[in-house]
C-alpha cells in the first residue's frame, strides 16, 4: 500500500506540472484583462490534437508539432483577444459568455475533424518506462515535467526582467497608473494573450505525450486551471505550481485509493474547501501579490 501511495504522489506531481502550464496561461490573461478565458482549455486541447495530427501523418515525434501548434493556437488567441477587446459594456460577464461560446465551437470543430475517439501517442520512446527505485513513469511524463519546469522558469524571468513582462505586471496591478507611466494597456494585453496562447501550445503537446485526449477534455482542463488559480490565489508562479501539484496529487490519490470515477469530484471538493476556508488562496494575500 505504501508503494501505491508513493507512486500516486509521484504521478500527481508529474501531471500537476502540466496543469500548472495550463493554469499559468489562464492566470496571465486574467491578470492582464481581468477576464476568465473559458476557451483556454479548448486551446490547450487543440494544441494536443496538432501533436496527434503531426505524429499520425508524418510519424515524427509529437514535439515536432510545436511550431504548428504555436501557429494555430497563438493565431486563435489573437482572434479571441480582438473579439473580447471589442466588448465595452459589462466586460466581465459578456467576456465569459463569449469565451464559453468559442470554447463550445472549438470543441465541436475538433469533434467534427478528429471524431470522438480517444487518442494517445504511439511513440515507443515516449511510452518507455523509467524506474526511480520503486517509482515508475513513462519517459513522456518525465520529458513533459522537464518542459513544464523550463517554461515556468522562463515565464518567471520574463515577468521579472523583461520590459514587456514588467509592463504586464504593471497593467495587472493598476491599469490607470500604468497608462500614466507611458504603457499602452491594449498592446500589453495583446502580448499577455499571445504568451498565454504559447503556454497553451506547449501544455497541449506535453499533455498528448503523457495522457489520453478526446474532445471533452478541453472543458475539464479549463475547470482544472480555474481550480489551480483559486488554490494559488493568482500572481505567483511557484504558488501556481504548488497548487497544480496539489490538485494532481489529490486526483492521483483518489484514483489509487478510491475510484477513477471520483477523480473530477475530488478536485471540485478541494476547490470548494479552499474557496470556503481560504478565499485568498492557500498562500494568502501576501503570497498572491508576490
> pLDDT for 119-148, tens place per residue?
999 998 999 988 888 888 999 999 999 999
Q: Kindly indicate the confidence band of residue 290, based on its pLDDT and cuts at 50, 70 and 90.
A: very low
Q: What are phi and psi of 71, to 5 degrees?
A: -60, -50
Q: What percent of the chain has pLDDT over 70?
A: 95
Which of 79-83, 183-187, 234-238 is the least confident region?
234-238
Other beta carbons within 10 angstroms of residue 13's beta carbon come to 19
Burial of 232 from C-beta contacts in 10 A (0-12 / 13-18 / 19+): buried
Provide the 3-class DSSP secondary structure of residue 211: coil
Task: Tell me the C-alpha distance between 40 and 105, whole Å.
Answer: 13
- Pairing verdict, β 129-132 and 135-138: antiparallel
Look at residue 178 in the predicted model and tell me its pLDDT: 84
Residues 59-99: tens digit of each pLDDT: 999 999 999 999 999 999 999 999 988 887 887 788 899 99
The CATH code for residues 2-115+122-289 is 1.10.3470
Domain ranges of the chain: 2-115+122-289
- CA distance from start to end of the chain: 39
pTM value > 0.75:
yes
Task: Tell me the C-alpha distance between 188 and 186, whole Å.
Answer: 5
Tell me the DSSP string of 105-151.
HHHHHHHHHH-S--B----HHHH-EEEETTEEEEHHHHHHHHHHHHH
Q: Kindly indicate the confidence band of residue 235, based on its pLDDT and cuts at 50, 70 and 90.
A: low
Shortest CA distance to 221 belongs to which of 237, 208, 234? Answer: 208
- Whole-Å CA distances, 289 to 29, 39, 83, 235, 286: 16, 26, 29, 6, 5
Residue 250 has pLDDT above 60, yes or no: yes
Amino acid at each position: 500500500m505504501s508503494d501505491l501511495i508513493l507512486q500516486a504522489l509521484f504521478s500527481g506531481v508529474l501531471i500537476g506540472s502540466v496543469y500548472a502550464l495550463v493554469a499559468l496561461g489562464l492566470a496571465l490573461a486574467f491578470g492582464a484583462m481581468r477576464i476568465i478565458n473559458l476557451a483556454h482549455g479548448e486551446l490547450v486541447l487543440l494544441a494536443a490534437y496538432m501533436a496527434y495530427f503531426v505524429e499520425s501523418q508524418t510519424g515524427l515525434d509529437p514535439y515536432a508539432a510545436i511550431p504548428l501548434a504555436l501557429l494555430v493556437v497563438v493565431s486563435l488567441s489573437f482572434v479571441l483577444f480582438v473579439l473580447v477587446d471589442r466588448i465595452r459594456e459589462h466586460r466581465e460577464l459578456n467576456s465569459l459568455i463569449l469565451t464559453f461560446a468559442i470554447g463550445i465551437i472549438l470543441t465541436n470543430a475538433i469533434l467534427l475533424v478528429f471524431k470522438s475517439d480517444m487518442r494517445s501517442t504511439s511513440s515507443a520512446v515516449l511510452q518507455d518506462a523509467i524506474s526511480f527505485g520503486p517509482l515508475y513513469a513513462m519517459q513522456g511524463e518525465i520529458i513533459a515535467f522537464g518542459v513544464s519546469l523550463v517554461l515556468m522558469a522562463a515565464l518567471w524571468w520574463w515577468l521579472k526582467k523583461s520590459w514587456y513582462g514588467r509592463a504586464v505586471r504593471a497593467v495587472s496591478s493598476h491599469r490607470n497608473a500604468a497608462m500614466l507611466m507611458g504603457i499602452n494597456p491594449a498592446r500589453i494585453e495583446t502580448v499577455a494573450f499571445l504568451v498565454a496562447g504559447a503556454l497553451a501550445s506547449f501544455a497541449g503537446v506535453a499533455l498528448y505525450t503523457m495522457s489520453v485526449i478526446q474532445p471533452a477534455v478541453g472543458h475539464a482542463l479549463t475547470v482544472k486551471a480555474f481550480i489551480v488559480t483559486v488554490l494559488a490565489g493568482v500572481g505567483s508562479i511557484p504558488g501556481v505550481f504548488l497548487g497544480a501539484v496539489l490538485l494532481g496529487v489529490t486526483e492521483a490519490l483518489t484514483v489509487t485509493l478510491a475510484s477513477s470515477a471520483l477523480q473530477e469530484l475530488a478536485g471540485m471538493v478541494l476547490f470548494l474547501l479552499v474557496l470556503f476556508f481560504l478565499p485568498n488562496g492557500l498562500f494568502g494575500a501576501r503570497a498572491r501579490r508576490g
